[in-house]
Amino acid sequence: MARLRKILKRFPPIPTIPAAVFLFLVFVAVFAPFIAPYDPEARNLYDQFIPLSWMEGGSTAHLLGTDYFGRDILTRLLYGARVSLSVGVIAVAAAASLGTVVGLVSGYFGGWVDIVLMRVVDSVLAFPLILIAILLAVTLGPSYTNIILILALLGWPRFARQIRAETLAIREQEYVALARVGGCSPARMMWKHMFPNIVPTLLVLATYQIGYVIMFESFLSFLGVGIPPPTPTWGSMCSEGRDYIGTNWWLSAFPGLCILVTILSVNLVGDWVRDRLDPKLRQV
């Protein structure tokens, strides 16, 4: 135990509150069908606009009130966490996979391969991502699968550029030259010798991108080109409640708060991951 404590002292302390919030959101997203009190899509017009349980006219049966269709807000928030986190994780995983392959190939081979791939990356990054995302969403149609595809296609250049920079530095190391002289194939060189050294950078970038993708998905759903109703998403809930913000403010306030807390906690955990994996920052 003493040795373990000595090792842990070398690393920055875990941000307790952001980590706890993030783990709670993951728990909620996984077990939403078991802990949610109602069906998120069930409508009951007799329960329209029930206020918060601690307000006048509220009910303990609906702790965070109901919306225009009588749907329970708490239930929809729980299922919204499931949608947002799943979109964030899957889209980032897809973007990271494609970006890592492109970055490794571009950095390792260099020459015309590097020039062509990086011009493609520059072309994607040159366009306003929000406008391109809206255009693709309108063209392909709003759906869960299409949103993940769009976010992955727009996110991979960020990974490709960073991984390429790491690969260019690793390519000049002595062990890479020795492996090349020993007859190591390019595929084995990139996968066996170079990829393990870029994993820390990949993890840090992926952690930050999850919050960015959640925000992007919420924005598209708010505009009505994201995941279509009646599937509950935080962005669409904010959009549905904006017409009643003066009288039933909780319809938009709680989904917006969930977006804020989630992105903030993910970014703070990302800061810790960066400090944990960067030797220079650990020494500071």
Q: What is the pLDDT of residues 96-144, one digit of tens each?
A: 999 999 999 998 888 888 889 999 998 888 888 888 888 888 888 888 8
Measured in degrees and rounded to the nearest 5, phi and psi for residue 59 equal: -140, 140
Q: Is the pLDDT of residue 180 over 80?
A: no
**Mind listing the pLDDT tens digit for each residue in 243-284?**
888 888 888 999 999 999 999 998 888 888 777 776 555 554
- pTM value is 0.86
Distance, CA of 48 to CA of 65 (rounded, Å): 9
pLDDT at 276: 76
Q: Which of 110-124, 173-187, 224-238 has the lowest mean pLDDT?
A: 173-187
Question: What is the average pLDDT score of the chain?
Answer: 84
Q: Is the pLDDT of residue 11 over 70?
A: no
Q: Is the pLDDT of residue 14 over 80?
A: no
Please give the residue that has the higher pLDDT: either 11 or 180. Answer: 180
- Tokens representing residue 265 in the block: 């906690």
Q: How many other CB atoms are there within 10 angstroms of residue 235's CB atom? A: 26
Q: Which of 36-45, 80-89, 100-109, 275-284 has the lowest mean pLDDT?
A: 275-284
Q: Is the pLDDT of residue 4 over 50?
A: no
Residues facing residue 59 across a β-bridge: 62
pLDDT at 13: 63
- Position 79 confidence tier, pLDDT thresholds 50, 70, 90: very high
Under 8 Å between Cβ of 219 and 129: no
Q: Is the pLDDT of residue 80 over 60?
A: yes
Q: Is the pLDDT of residue 46 over 80?
A: yes
**End-to-end distance of the chain based on CA atoms, in angstroms?**
25
pLDDT at 8: 47
Most confident of 108-112, 126-130, 155-159, 226-230: 155-159
All structural domains of the chain = 15-37+51-283 (1.10.3720.10)
**Mind listing the pLDDT tens digit for each residue in 91-106?**
999 999 999 999 999 9
Q: Is the pLDDT of residue 5 over 70?
A: no
Residue 278 vs residues 6, 54, 203: alpha-carbon distances, Å: 19, 47, 11
Q: Is the pLDDT of residue 48 over 50?
A: yes
Q: 247-253: long-range contacts (C-beta < 8 A, 24 or more apart)?
A: 247/49, 248/49, 248/51, 248/65, 248/67, 250/51, 250/52, 250/64, 250/65, 250/73, 251/65, 251/67, 251/73
Distance, CA of 86 to CA of 90 (rounded, Å): 6
For residues 166-195, average pLDDT: 80
pLDDT at 195: 87
